Amino acid sequence: MSKNSTFDPKAYWSATLRLLTITMVIWFIVSFGAGILFRDVLDSFNLGGYPLGFWFAQQGSIFIFVGLIFWYASRMDKIDREHDVHEE
């Protein structure tokens, strides 16, 4: 972490919480929404011979979660660089 006299911890924390909130909302929609709440609607479509709601509950959510991890890491790195608290 470089010492920057213009570092604003409130702005950094706000950006971090905003990213965390977005990530958790996506996680909730995929896990609870696609697997449980929207299952009946998604089951009208098939993917690989299986209803889409079942596919999301069993496999699709895992793919999205792994992608979400990489997306979160890249966005957090961008926030760190914007606030000049990144690691070298």
pLDDT in tens, 31-43: 888 878 888 898 8
Q: For the whole model, what pTM was predicted?
A: 0.78
Q: How many Cβ atoms from other residues are within 10 Å of residue 76's Cβ?
A: 16
Question: 2: which DSSP letter?
Answer: -
Q: Is pLDDT of 79 > 90? A: yes
Q: What mean pLDDT comes out for the span 70-78?
A: 96
What region, left, alpha or beta, does residue 84 occupy, with left being phi > 0 and alpha being psi -120 to 50 degrees? left
Q: Is 37 left (phi over 0), alpha (psi -120 to 50) or beta?
A: alpha
